[in-house]
Amino acid sequence: MVKLLKYLKPYTLFIVLAIAMLFVQANADLALPDYMSRIVNYGIQQGGVESVVPEAIRQQQMARLLLFLTPEEQDLVREAYVLIDQKSPDYRTYREKYPVLAQEPVYVLRATDRATRERLTAPLARALVVVSGMEQVMSDPSQAAGFGQALGFDLSKLPPGTDLFALLSALPAGQRDRVVAAIGERFAALGDQMVEQMAVRAVRAEYEALGMDTTRLQTAYILRVGGLMLLVTMVFVAATVTVSYLASRTAAGVARDLRRDVFARVVDFSAAEFNRFSTASLITRTTNDVMQVQMVIFLILRMALFAPIIGIGGILRALDKAPSMWWIIALAVAILVGTIMTLFSVSLPKFKMMQQLIDHLNRVVRENLSGIMVVRAFNKQRYEAERFDRVNRDLADTMLFIGRAMVTLMPVQMLVMNGLSILIIWVGAHQVAQATIRVGDMIAFLQYAIQIVFSFMMLSFMFIFLPRSFVSGDRIAEVLETEVEVRDPVQPKSLPEPFRGVVEFRNVCFRYPGAEEYVLKDITFTARPGQVTAIIGSTGSGKSTLLNLIPRFYDVTEGAVLVDGVDIREVAQHDLRARIGYIPQRGILFSGTIESNLRYGDGDAPEEVLREAVEIAQASDFVFTPDGNGLDAPVAQGGANLSGGQKQRLAIARALVRQAPIYLFDDSFSALDYRTDAALRRTLREKASRSTVIIVTQRVATIKNADQIIVLDEGRVVGKGTHQELMATCSTYREIAFSQLREEEL
C-alpha cells in the first residue's frame, strides 16, 4: 500500500484542504459540549449570570463589599468601577438599564480585560458571600448561629437589630484587617468553585435590587449561547460535507489513475508476464483490489484522520472540564486499544488469504462460463458445481471468521461506552455534591468521553478495511512493478525504406522464462516477399512459439530475428507491429460491429478496402446477405453470435485491412472447410503477392503449394524446401503427409 502513495501526489491540494476541514469539523464538534455546559452552568443554574464580577452594583452595597477586602483588593475594585449618579453624562442611558439609579448612585463596571476580571473574581466572590450572609442574619437573627459558625465568629451573642456592617466599620483598622484575613482563610478551605457558586446568588439578588429583569437576562443568555451552538453546528455540517466531497474526489481520482496504469502496464505485458499472472487475477486486481484501495483512501480522509483529532481533542477538553476524573478516560482508552490490537493481529492473515480465495473463485467461474459447452457435453455439471462450492465455502469460511472476530468489536465498545457513562455519572455526582465540579461540566465530560469512544470506534472500523486494502495495494503494486521483459531500446533504430518485409531467423534458440529446456533450437531460415513460407510440425514442436517471436511477443534467448536486415530487438515495437498483419490461432473479436472489428486493422481505411478484405477472407457469404446489416451487423462479446469459421475469416479480414508487408497466420485456417480454405489461399496469393506470408498449420493440404516449407520436430528444423522436395528428403514431413492425405492426393 505504501508503494501507491505516489498516486496521492496529484491530489495534494484536495488532501490538504480535507485535513484543514477535518480540524474545522473536529473543533466545531468539540465546541458543542462546552456550549451545552455553559447553558447548564450559567444559563440554568446561575440564571444567566456568567460572572461573579457584577456589571453594576449599588453604592451602599459597594461600601459593604469594600469592608471585606484587603487594601490592595479595594484599590483594584475602585479602579474597575465608575460611580454613576444624576450628574453623570450617561445617567439617562444607565437609568433605563438600572432603574434603581433614580433613588441612589450605582457603580458600573468599566470595560476591563479578561485578566482584570479574573483578578477581581476571587475577592469579590468572597465579599459577596459574606455580605449576603450578613444581610440574611440581619433580616433573620435565627441564622446568626449557623452563619457565624461558618465564619468562625459567634454572631448569636450580638443584640438583635445590630447593624453588623456599621459595627465592623467602627472597628479599628488593624482589628478589621484581622477579621478580613480570618474570613479569607475560612473561605479558602471551601474552594474557589464553591465560593463562586454561592456568590452568583448574591449577584443575581443585586441585579434584582437594581431593577433589572433577571428572567429576561436568563433567556437572553440561553438564546445567545444556543444561537452560537446552532452556528457551530452549521459550520460542522458544512465542514463534513466538504470533507466528504474532497475525500470522494481524491479516492475516485486515485482509483481511476490506478486502473489506467494497471491496464496500461498489462497491455504492455509480453506473453512471459501473462504466464506469471492469471487472467482472473489481473481482472480482480484491476477491479476489486482497486475498489478496496479507493474505499480505504476515502475512509482515511473521512474517518481515520478525523478520529485521532477528535479523540485527542476530546481528551484534552475532558481533562480541562474535570481533571480529577482523568483515570476514567485512561481506563476506557486502555481497554479499547487492547481490543483493537488483538483483533488486528488475528484478522490480518485472514485478509491476505481472502484476496487469494477471490482470485481462485474468479478463476473457477471464468473457466466454467467459458467452457460451459464442454461441461455439459461431458455431464460434469455436478462435478463443477462441487468444485465451485468448495472454493465458495473456503471463501465464505474465511469471511465468516473475519466477521466473527470483528463482530465482537462493537459489543465491547458499546459495553465500554455504557460502563464509562455510568462510572462518570456516579463519580461526577459525588463531586457535584461536594461542589468540586458543576453539573454542566460533568455533562460536558460525559459527552467528551462518548466522543473519545466513538473516535476509537471509527478507528476500529478502519481496521476492518485496512488489512484487506493493504493486501490489495500490494497486489496492485506487484503488477505495476513487474518489469516487462520485451522492451523498446533506449534509442530505437528505424526500419529501412522502402520496406520490403524480409524475415530472417538466424541461429535462433528460445526457452520460456524460468524453464531449463529450450523450446526452439538453432532455427535458421529466411522468408521473402512474394513468397509463402509455411511452418508445419507435430503438436508441441514449437510452431506457434516460433511465429510469436516475429512480433516480439517473446524475445529470443539466443540468436536473432531480423526484418530487412535489422534485429527486431533494436526497433520500437510499435513500428515493427505496424508492418505486420497478425492472425491468431483463435479468432478473437470484440463487441461492436463487423466494421469496428475490421477497422482494428486500420481505423482510417476506406469502405472499399473493408469490402475487399471481406471478399478475400471468403466472408462475403455471411456479411453481405440480403436480409443482413452488412458491415453494421452486430458482433457480441468474443464473437459469441458467430461460428468458429466465421470468426476466423473475420480475423483474417481484419489483418488484410492493414495491407501489411508481412502476414503471420497462426493456424488460422483450422476452422475452415477445405473448399473455403483453398479459395482463401488462392485469393490471398493474388492480392498479397508482394507481401511476406508465413503460415503455421498442421494441414498439409493448406501448404502443398507454399514456396518454402519449414518442418519442425521437437524445436529443431528437420526439413526445409517445397512439398515435392520434402516428400523426397524428410521422413517427418512424409509421416505427417501420409497421415492426412491419400497417396494420389499427394
pLDDT digits 0-9 by tens, 344-378: 777 777 776 876 787 788 788 878 877 777 777 77
Q: Are residues 281 and 313 in the same domain?
A: yes
Q: Tell me, yes or no, whether 35 lies in a domain.
A: no
Where do we find the cell 473456503? 394
Pairing of strands 106-109, 81-84: antiparallel
**pLDDT of 413-445, one tens digit each?**
788 888 888 888 888 888 887 777 788 888 888
Query: What is the bridge-based pairing of β-strands 503-510 and 558-563?
Result: antiparallel
- Same domain flag for 315 and 187: no
Cα→Cα distances 216→48, 49, 588, Å: 9, 11, 84
Residue 254 lies in a domain: no
| Cα dihedral: 109, 113, 119, 124 (round 10) | 20
Query: Is 219 within a domain?
Result: no
431, 446, 480 - which closes a domain: 480
Those residues with Cβ within 8 angstroms of residue 433's Cβ, 6 or more apart along the chain or in another chain: none
522-537: average pLDDT: 91
The residue among 445, 480, 515 that closes a domain is: 480
Chain segment 71-94, per-residue pLDDT in tens:
888 899 999 999 998 888 888 888
Neighbours of 475 (CB within 10 A): 22
| Same domain assignment for residues 89 and 163 | yes
Question: So what's the pLDDT on residue 350?
Answer: 77
Per residue in 324-334, pLDDT (tens digit) is: 888 888 888 88
Is 245 within a domain? Answer: no
**In angstroms, what CA-CA distances link 664 with 24, 382, 527, 535?**
65, 42, 11, 11
608 with 713, same domain: the answer is: yes
303 shares a domain with 203: no
Q: Would you say residue 21 lies in a domain?
A: no
Percent helix / strand / coil, the chain, rounded to 5? 65, 10, 25
Length in residues, the chain: 746
CATH code for position 532? 3.40.50.300
pLDDT beyond 60 at 497:
yes
Is the same domain home to 189 and 299? Answer: no
Q: Which domain holds residue 115?
A: 53-213
Query: Total domain count for the chain?
Result: 3
Of the candidates 125, 126, 85, 90, the residue with the CA atom closest to the CA atom of residue 111 = 90
175-189: pLDDT as tens digits: 666 666 666 666 666
pLDDT above 60 for 225: yes
Output the CA torsion sign for 333, 334, 337, 338.
negative
Q: Are residues 191 and 305 in the same domain?
A: no
**Band of pLDDT at residue 96, cut at 50, 70 and 90:** confident
Q: What are phi and psi of 671, to 5 degrees?
A: -95, 5
Note whether residue 28 is domain-resident: no
396: CATH: 1.20.1560.10
Among residues 176, 192, 213, which one ends one of the domains?
Answer: 213
Average pLDDT, the chain: 84
Confidence of residue 190 (pLDDT cuts 50, 70, 90): low
Q: Are 209 and 285 part of one and the same domain?
A: no
Does one domain contain both 470 and 526?
A: no
Identify whether residues 616 and 545 lie together within a single domain.
yes
Determine if residue 80 is left, alpha or beta; phi over 0 gives left, psi from -120 to 50 gives alpha, anything else beta: alpha
Q: What is the DSSP string of 60-117?
A: HHHHHHHTTS-HHHHHHHHHHEEEE-TTSTTHHHHHHH-GGGGTS-EEEE----HHHH
Phi (first) and psi of residue 627, to 5 degrees: -100, 10
User: What sign does the CA torsion over 592, 594, 595, 597 have?
Assistant: positive
474 & 511 share domain: no
Rg, C-alpha atoms of the chain: 46
Is residue 46 in some structural domain?
no
Give a yes or no: residue 152 inside a domain.
yes
Strand partners, 562: 504, 567
Which of 466 and 263 is assigned the larger pLDDT? Answer: 263
Q: Distance between CA atoms of 80 and 112, rounded to whole angstroms?
A: 7
Q: Please indicate, yes or no, whether residues 122 and 67 belong to a single structural domain of this protein.
A: yes
Cβ–Cβ < 8 Å for 47, 41: no
